Structure 1
Amino acid sequence: MKVFPIEEIFEAARTKAPFYKKLYSALPDYSSLDVLPIVDPTSFWNAHRENRQNILTAPLVGGLVLNSGGTSGNPKFSYVTRSEYSSCMEVSAMAFTSAGLVDGHRVMNLFPSGDLYAAFLTATYSLEKMMPDTLHFPMGFLSSDEFVGQIMADFQITAVAGMPSRLYKLFLSLLEQNVNVELDLILFAGEPFFPDQIRLIQKLFPKAKIRPLGYGSVDGGILGFSDFTCLMGEYRPFSDHLVFEIVDDNGKVINEPDISGHIVITNLLRKLMPIIRYPTGDRAAWIESSGVKYRKFRLLGRGNESARIADLNIYPSDILNAANRGQSHTFSRVQLVVKRFSERDQLTVLFVAEEPPVDEKTIVAHIHSALHTAQPVLAKMIAAGLIAPIEIKIGQTKDLIVNQKTGKALSIADLRMAVQTK
């Protein structure tokens, strides 16, 4: 595994990547990480949209290109060399073993594949290259529940790995099919399990451990792992090859436990597309005191940058632009609300209009079409029944959900309740 010194990453970024060259124009030499400005994700991706080379330190020749979110009209891609990707997969394999996977497991890989998404590739590489004595079943995301159930029964699968929405749908189908499988490990990533889902799983598979594979993102890589001291929503950062910071709203580093802030990461495995003091969009708080190796933290949900649903980051600005594109009637503001509905996640989009539209039904139909076009993966998941259909509302500023302490209207309101269990 190649771990780059932070000074080397900084120098490559400052001299070869135009975005960072501009950001660090007043910092000719590296002194310490905490004096570097925190990256503004909007500016970062705007630079990428103008020219991908703006955020790269070398020509894009060999390696991998992965989907990092965005919409069809404004995609966000992440770039890694083959050597960097190999290092990242070593870290991913550590996350698998920390979650309880051992040699001899028969593992059904149900993560999404295709569309340049990384989850299936990550699981495949980790299982086949780093854990050769597991038996890997690379099923993917879209196989029918009947076929998956048949394979699970025929080969007596002992572990499954996938997104909670996909796994939960499968488990409901197994119950209906009366498939006899005894799982002892259920691994998930990309989104949380919720109490209603946990209850069914514990009923179906009373001996199974339900473990998160880790905390991460395509941009930042695998950032944290969950060992058996962690409750749901708790992780430990991979601090041997990552600088993991929690900062307050003013960018000041928080070292004290139980004070919430924004996660900012610096990845020491990547130099082609440097990730230096980059906000993940999540909030967290330290649980353990400073000085503890792999210091434990608790995730506290998304910040105000994007909503996360079914392993996708949904940005309010992208939704607003998609809805307004090509329309004479434009909306001034949007709020994304994520909640649980009929045991599935649901995204409600509230558009603020200065004046009520004359033909609201037609406009809502246009918005649905525009959002499905802009977010094709989200549309596929809705069609597959993994998440509830998007709910569109048109209202006024007074209809927005606000912060109860400050009264400020939220761009994103996540109303889901995570479960805290061993």
Structure 2
Amino acid sequence: MNNSSNLYWGLTAQDIPGLQLNKLKNIVEFHYSNNSIYRRLLDDSGVNPSQLTSLDQLSLLPIIDPQQLKQDKFPSFCSLPLSEITTFIETSGSTGKPKLIPVANNEASHIYKHVAQMLSVAGVGSPYTDNGRANRSIYCMFPTGPWPSSFFIQNGCEQLGPTVRADVRMPIHWHKDKLALLRPADVITYPSFLSYFYDQLKNELEFSELGIQRIVIGGEPFTEAFREKMEAAFHCKIYDIYGCGEIGVASIECSHSRATGYTHWCAPELLLEVVDPETMKPVEDGEVGTMVVTNLWRKSTPIIRYAMGDIICKTTKQCECGSSLPLVSRIKGRQDDTFCYGAANLYPDQINQAVTRAGYSDKYVLKIIDKPDEIAAELVMQLEYEGPEQQDIIANKINNQLASLSMEYKTIVRLAKFRPPIQVKCVKPGALFSQGMTKLKRIKRVSVSSEYKSS
């Protein structure tokens, strides 16, 4: 799949709105005709698919709650008979109870090509040979199983070139041998796994000699400090990718993204709304809000005005790379991970930056401990660390960094002292994240009673 053109399947930016409208009308009509629950949602909202004549009318459609995809809801929210389902993918449950997502027979090949198109924005697989495929391998380092990463990324990569399905749970020496033997041009994985494998192999492999051209990471938040550390270690550029089981690959960085702070959104396949989480009304371009996404290709399950809960902003700016895909920010966190501490609204990205800027590992878990009579009464961070510094010194550095990132936090904790600062409890490396895990959930909310039970 040659990516010499920056156009997604030959589409210009001017082509995309008309394509979106046609796809929107078709997908709403399909689910209205084939899904009794969705038909009832539309009828209760007083909406008929025939009313959709412009994208401005998207807000007439009801919001779909992610709870509809929880496993105990299946198969009632499926729009196809089981005979037309090829497979199922399952979320890891890092944002709650796992979701079970069916994939239709005729969706799989489209998904693979869509993912390949998005990966090519970051240059994955290039330079291409005359037959449009890469002549060097792509190393996909994910856990094998029903996870979206295994399904979307690995199959998409195979559209671009020879792909190694490198299960992260294989022994370290297996990865060492395969990396040295195959010398992949591209590595795609989670940030946690990249950090873990670097720690395990840094004394056994000279990464600069592998000739890795780029690494693509996603599925978890990471900071610029982490990215720069890994780029120096692997001697290549690192790109951010965002996606999930419900919508596939939604956005990815290009070579200009570091300078602009924006990534490319897959507008031909996904309609994006950025809304105020309280009013569910659209915010202005450049303002932060939560994502509401409409999947324009999925017929197995209606993902229409689906409340993702991820925090993002979009812009009308154009990228210098020439891509026809519009720009959005990197994901700033999840709405359900964003929390209020006193009067300070704190985002997961701010916590991440505070820890890594202070010079510590990104392997941490921040517990928001609620007391019966007070919300977010205490913040306790478990941090993988084995070194000479005392816990109170580490905590002070992290709190100073967070205060520099959030004036609200500085006021609440440092100036007015309405709330105590984050406490740090160090644990041994490997205590929070291990090779057998899927992802590390870094922010957890617990009640004071459950905290006592677990201690």
Q: Tell whether the structures are fold-level matches, with TM greater than 0.5.
A: yes
Which amino acid is 1:301 matched to?
A: K
Question: What is residue 221 of structure 1 aligned with on the other side?
Answer: 248
Contact 1:225 1:236 in 2 (8 A): yes
Contact 2:370 2:445 in 1 (8 A): no
Question: What is residue 5 of structure 1 aligned with on the other side?
Answer: 23
Q: CA deviation at 1:262?
A: 1.5
Q: In the aligned structure 1, how far is the partner of 2:373 from the partner of 2:327? A: 49
Question: What is residue 78 of structure 2 aligned with on the other side?
Answer: 56
Shift of the 234–105 alpha-carbon distance from structure 1 to 2, 3 Å rule, reads: farther
Contact 1:261 1:285 in 2 (8 A): yes
Shift of the 351–89 alpha-carbon distance from structure 1 to 2, 3 Å rule, reads: same
Q: CA deviation at 1:293?
A: 4.6
Partner deviation per Cα, 1:276-323 (whole Å, 9 max, x = no partner): 011221121123359x9522111352342358xxxxxxxx9xxxxxxx
Q: CA deviation at 1:237?
A: 1.7
Contact 2:69 2:101 in 1 (8 A): no
Q: CA deviation at 1:178?
A: 4.0
Shift of the 173–305 alpha-carbon distance from structure 1 to 2, 3 Å rule, reads: same
1:357-396 matches, within 5 Å, as: 381-382=433-434, 384=436, 387=440, 395=448
Q: In the aligned structure 2, how far is the partner of 1:13 from the partner of 1:55? A: 10
1:157 is the counterpart of 2:184: yes
1:146 is the counterpart of 2:173: yes
Question: What is residue 120 of structure 1 aligned with on the other side?
Answer: 150
SS at match of 1:200: helix
Percent identity, aligned pairs only?
Answer: 20
Q: CA deviation at 1:392?
A: 8.4
Q: In the aligned structure 2, how far is the partner of 1:395 from the partner of 1:336? A: 22
Q: In the aligned structure 1, how far is the partner of 2:243 from the partner of 2:180? A: 32
1:80 is the counterpart of 2:103: yes
1:28 is the counterpart of 2:48: yes
Q: CA deviation at 1:125?
A: 1.4
Partner deviation per Cα, 1:105-153 (whole Å, 9 max, x = no partner): 3222112211x1121232321222x22xx33222111122232122212
Contact 2:115 2:249 in 1 (8 A): yes
Which amino acid is 1:215 matched to?
A: Y
Which amino acid is 2:48 matched to?
A: P
Q: In the aligned structure 1, how far is the partner of 2:148 from the partner of 2:369? A: 32
SS at match of 1:78: strand
1:176 is the counterpart of 2:203: yes
**Which stretches in structure 1 are left out of the alignment for 5+ residues?**
308-315, 317-334, 357-378, 400-422
Contact 1:336 1:349 in 2 (8 A): no
Which amino acid is 2:91 matched to?
A: S
Shift of the 302–136 alpha-carbon distance from structure 1 to 2, 3 Å rule, reads: same
1:108 is the counterpart of 2:139: yes
SS at match of 2:168: coil
Shift of the 198–351 alpha-carbon distance from structure 1 to 2, 3 Å rule, reads: closer
Question: What is residue 119 of structure 2 aligned with on the other side?
Answer: 96
Which amino acid is 1:198 matched to?
A: R
Question: What is residue 226 of structure 2 aligned with on the other side?
Answer: 197
Which amino acid is 2:150 matched to?
A: F
TM-score, length basis structure 2: 0.65
Question: What is residue 274 of structure 2 aligned with on the other side?
Answer: 246
Q: In the aligned structure 2, how far is the partner of 1:56 from the partner of 1:34? A: 23
Equivalent residues, number = 339
**Which stretches in structure 2 are left out of the alignment for 5+ residues?**
1-8, 10-18, 52-56, 127-133, 340-345, 375-430
Q: CA deviation at 1:336?
A: 11
Partner deviation per Cα, 1:375-394 (whole Å, 9 max, x = no partner): xxxx9954658859998865
SS at match of 2:258: coil
1:237 is the counterpart of 2:265: yes
Question: What is residue 15 of structure 1 aligned with on the other side?
Answer: 33
SS at match of 1:273: coil
The match for 1:41 among 66, 80, 83 is 66
1:298-317 matches, within 5 Å, as: 298-305=329-336
Which amino acid is 1:81 matched to?
A: A
Contact 1:244 1:265 in 2 (8 A): yes
Contact 1:111 1:141 in 2 (8 A): yes
SS at match of 2:222: coil
1:261-276 matches, within 5 Å, as: 261-276=289-304
Contact 1:352 1:395 in 2 (8 A): yes
Q: CA deviation at 1:275?
A: 0.7
SS at match of 2:290: strand
SS at match of 1:53: coil
Partner deviation per Cα, 1:52-83 (whole Å, 9 max, x = no partner): 23211121223121102438995311112021
Q: CA deviation at 1:246?
A: 1.4
SS at match of 1:222: strand
SS at match of 1:246: strand
Q: In the aligned structure 2, how far is the partner of 1:275 from the partner of 1:98? A: 25
Q: In the aligned structure 2, how far is the partner of 1:75 from the partner of 1:23? A: 23
Q: In the aligned structure 2, how far is the partner of 1:6 from the partner of 1:124? A: 28
Q: CA deviation at 1:92?
A: 0.5
Contact 1:223 1:238 in 2 (8 A): yes
Which amino acid is 1:85 matched to?
A: A
Contact 2:363 2:433 in 1 (8 A): no
TM-score, length basis structure 1: 0.69
State which drifts further: 9-18 or 238-247. 9-18
